[in-house]
């Protein structure tokens, strides 16, 4: 029986909340057993002593840029970045060129992902044709081709009636709608959070109200239609409050937050740092505190990166002219491990937000370490530290405001589709070196 044995690690089960010592045997693409696994002569053994062994991480909000913007990222480089960041699955947002609004494009993304190998790619289909907010996209056709959610990410569906119809249709198909909640009438022309720093820098502000008005409308439409609404990248205290309220009323509303909105404030824009230009914008310290509270009390279900690669020349311009977005796949784990050290989340809670929660939202068979489960596994060494060096990213995008940051707690390797990918030296191999 050939296969792979992950030996001596601490398994984190996000469902039970338990941590336990166990070996994991992988055969083919499935977990064959969890517990005490006997040595097998022909198996590859990964010494996982000193590592946390987690279900493979899922990033449900990623921009892979292909087709159409291959100078920013390709599916192959995006998948490589995912693996290097410890993610075994990503959701690809549809704002490509052409927009992913047909079965053909969904199929293209899946085909490219298969060629790339490694992390799984789940396409998100556009909600409206061309994401133009005018006509419904062929939702059932895309679902059948493999789309796991629908979204006009980056563009809020302004027309309330169309959004209602889209949500009714998606509810019928049992597929969640992911909404990028920002009312364009209120954010008009803004490039950063509206407040003190925007005034000082002379930059146009995006008020928190732009997000909150949109979240409120979409929650009301979720109540009307029974559609599962997933609010993308929540960034304001008011939006967290609205979602908390909706959940208390029993509505099918879930939400995600990015590592950068949990880590940075509007101050990061100072010096006109275009790598800190992101949509929704970095907010205030009070918003960051509210996002953490929302994570802790379960209002915010998921951590997702909104990985948005751009070419260097696109960001090396005047602040107003720079596109929104920052890369996130390769810094996410190191940033969010700080939440455990700070006491915001327990380790199993954090892991749930990166595994079983997105899997449940999207209806994926993933996020569990169990006999018979899909063998997607992430190993994290909580002690390893590294300085962020964008030149070493697997992503084509180097647009991160975290360059030079010292991160602690990093992925050392993943099992994706039954294959072992090693990213960093494991504690066991470091010990071995020390002994020599």
Partner 1 sequence: MLQRKDLVSIEGLRAEEIRSLLDTAGAMREVIQRDIKKVPTLRGKVVALLFYEPSTRTRFSFELAAKYLSADTVSVVAATSSVVKGESLLDTAKTIDALGADAVVLRHPAAGAAEFFSRYTRAAVINAGDGMHEHPTQALLDLYTIEERKGRIEGLTVTFVGDILHSRVVRSNIWGLRKLGASVRVCGPRTLLPPGLEEIGVSVFTRLEDALPGSDVVYVLRLQRERFTQGLLPGIEEYARLYGITTERLELAGPEAIVMHPGPLNRGVEIDAGVADSTRAVITQQVTNGVAVRMACLYLLMRRENDDRAYH
Active site residues: 306
Q: Is 320 in the site for partner 1 (CB under 8 A)?
A: yes
Question: Nearer to partner 1 by C-beta: 322 or 412?
Answer: 322
From the list 321, 389, 404, 422, which residue makes contact with partner 1 (rule: CB under 8 A)?
Answer: 321
CA distance 227 to 133: 18
From the list 108, 169, 319, 402, which residue makes contact with partner 1 (rule: CB under 8 A)?
Answer: 319
From the list 4, 103, 198, 291, which residue makes contact with partner 1 (rule: CB under 8 A)?
Answer: 198
From the list 32, 162, 173, 201, which residue makes contact with partner 1 (rule: CB under 8 A)?
Answer: 201
The whole-angstrom distance between residue 218's C-alpha and the CA centroid of its chain comes to 21
CA distance 331 to 381: 14
What is the closest distance, in whole angstroms, from the C-beta atom of residue 200 to partner 1 in the complex?
7
What is the closest distance, in whole angstroms, from the C-beta atom of residue 197 to partner 1 in the complex?
7
| Site stretch for partner 1 (CB under 8 A), options 26-34, 143-151, 198-206, 292-300 | 198-206
Q: Is 285 in the site for partner 1 (CB under 8 A)?
A: no
Helix axes 75-84, 103-116, angle to 10 degrees: 50
What is the closest distance, in whole angstroms, from the C-beta atom of residue 317 to partner 1 in the complex?
6
Size of the site for partner 1 (CB under 8 A): 21
DSSP code, position 317: S
Q: Is 224 in the site for partner 1 (CB under 8 A)?
A: no
Q: What is the DSSP string of 99-144?
A: -S-SHHHHHHHHHHHHHH-SSEEEEEE-SBGGG-SSSB--HHHHHH
Distances (CA, A) of 257 to 44, 380, 400: 37, 21, 17
Identify which of 56, 55, 67, 71 has the alpha carbon closest to the alpha carbon of residue 92: 67
Q: Is 199 in the site for partner 1 (CB under 8 A)?
A: yes
Question: Nearer to partner 1 by C-beta: 63 or 193?
Answer: 193
What is the closest distance, in whole angstroms, from the C-beta atom of residue 188 to partner 1 in the complex?
10
From the list 68, 195, 323, 382, which residue makes contact with partner 1 (rule: CB under 8 A)?
Answer: 195
Question: Nearer to partner 1 by C-beta: 66 or 194?
Answer: 194
What is the closest distance, in whole angstroms, from the C-beta atom of residue 235 to partner 1 in the complex?
17
Residue whose tokens read 């336990």: 20
Residue 44: which residues within 8 A CB-CB, separation 6 or more? 3, 4, 5, 420
Rg value, the chain, Cα: 21
Q: Is 422 in the site for partner 1 (CB under 8 A)?
A: no
| Site stretch for partner 1 (CB under 8 A), options 37-45, 203-211, 252-260, 382-390 | 203-211
Residue 89 corresponds to which tokens in the numbers above?
């699955």
CA distance 109 to 92: 8
Identify which of 403, 82, 85 has the alpha carbon closest to the alpha carbon of residue 264: 403
Q: What is the DSSP string of 338-357?
A: HHHHHTSS-HHHHHHHHTHH
Within 297-316, which residues bind partner 1 (CB under 8 A)?
313, 316
In the shown chain, the binding pattern of residues 125 to 164 toward partner 1, with x for contact by CB under 8 A and - for none, equals ----------------------------------------
CB 289 within 8 A of CB 265: no
Q: Is 272 in the site for partner 1 (CB under 8 A)?
A: yes
CB 296 within 8 A of CB 250: no
What is the closest distance, in whole angstroms, from the C-beta atom of residue 237 to partner 1 in the complex?
15
Helix axes 237-248, 208-225, angle to 10 degrees: 20
Which residues does residue 136 pair with via DSSP β-bridges, in sequence order?
128
At 360 the three-state DSSP class reads: helix
Q: Is 343 in the site for partner 1 (CB under 8 A)?
A: no
| Site stretch for partner 1 (CB under 8 A), options 199-207, 239-247, 355-363, 381-389 | 199-207
| Site stretch for partner 1 (CB under 8 A), options 93-101, 197-205, 362-370, 382-390 | 197-205
Question: Nearer to partner 1 by C-beta: 184 or 195?
Answer: 195
What is the CB-side half-sphere exposure of residue 179 using CA atoms within 13 A? 34
The whole-angstrom distance between residue 182's C-alpha and the CA centroid of its chain comes to 19
Q: Is 395 in the site for partner 1 (CB under 8 A)?
A: no
Q: Is 203 in the site for partner 1 (CB under 8 A)?
A: yes
Q: Is 66 in the site for partner 1 (CB under 8 A)?
A: no
**Residues at the site binding partner 1, with contacts judged by CB under 8 A:** 194-205, 271-272, 313, 316-321
């Amino acid at each position: 029986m050939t296969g792979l044995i992950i030996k001596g690690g601490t398994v984190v089960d996000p469902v039970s909340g338990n941590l336990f010592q166990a070996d994991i045997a992988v055969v083919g693409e499935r977990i064959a057993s969890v517990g005490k696994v006997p040595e097998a002569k022909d198996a590859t053994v990964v010494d996982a002593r000193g590592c946390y062994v987690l279900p493979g991480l899922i990033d449900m909000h990623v921009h892979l840029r292909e087709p159409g913007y291959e100078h920013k990222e390709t599916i192959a480089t995006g998948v490589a970045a995912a693996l290097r960041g410890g993610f075994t699955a990503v959701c690809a947002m549809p704002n490509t060129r052409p927009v992913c609004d047909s079965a053909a494009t969904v199929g293209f993304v899946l085909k490219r992902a298969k060629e790339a190998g490694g992390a799984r790619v789940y396409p998100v289909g556009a909600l409206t044709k061309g994401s133009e907010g005018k006509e419904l996209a062929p939702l059932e056709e895309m679902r059948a081709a493999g789309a796991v959610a629908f979204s006009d990410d980056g563009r809020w569906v302004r027309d309330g009636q169309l959004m209602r119809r889209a949500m009714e249709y998606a509810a019928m198909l049992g597929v969640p709608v992911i909404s990028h909640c920002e009312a364009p009438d209120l954010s008009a022309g803004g490039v950063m959070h509206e407040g003190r720093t925007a005034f000082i820098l002379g930059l146009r502000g995006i008020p928190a109200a732009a997000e909150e008005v949109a979240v409120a409308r979409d929650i009301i439409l979720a109540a009307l239609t029974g559609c599962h609404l997933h609010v993308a990248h929540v960034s304001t205290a008011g939006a967290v409050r609205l979602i908390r309220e909706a959940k208390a009323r029993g509505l099918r509303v879930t939400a995600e937050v990015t590592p950068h909105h949990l880590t940075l404030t509007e101050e990061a824009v100072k010096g006109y740092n275009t790598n800190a230009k992101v949509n929704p914008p970095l907010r205030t310290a009070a918003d960051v505190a509210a996002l953490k509270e929302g994570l802790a009390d379960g209002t915010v279900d998921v951590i997702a990166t909104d990985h948005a690669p751009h070419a260097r020349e696109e960001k090396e311009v005047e602040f107003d002219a720079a596109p929104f977005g920052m890369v996130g796949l390769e810094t996410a784990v190191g940033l969010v491990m700080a939440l455990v050290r700070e006491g915001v989340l327990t380790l199993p809670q954090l892991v749930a937000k990166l595994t079983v929660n997105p899997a449940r939202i999207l209806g994926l068979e993933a996020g569990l370490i169990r006999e018979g489960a899909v063998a997607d596994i992430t190993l994290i060494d909580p002690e390893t530290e590294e300085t962020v060096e964008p030149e070493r990213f697997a992503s084509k995008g180097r647009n991160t405001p975290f360059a030079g940051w010292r991160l602690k707690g990093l992925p050392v390797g993943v099992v994706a589709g039954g294959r072992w990918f090693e990213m960093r030296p494991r504690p066991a191999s470091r010990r071995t070196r020390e002994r020599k």
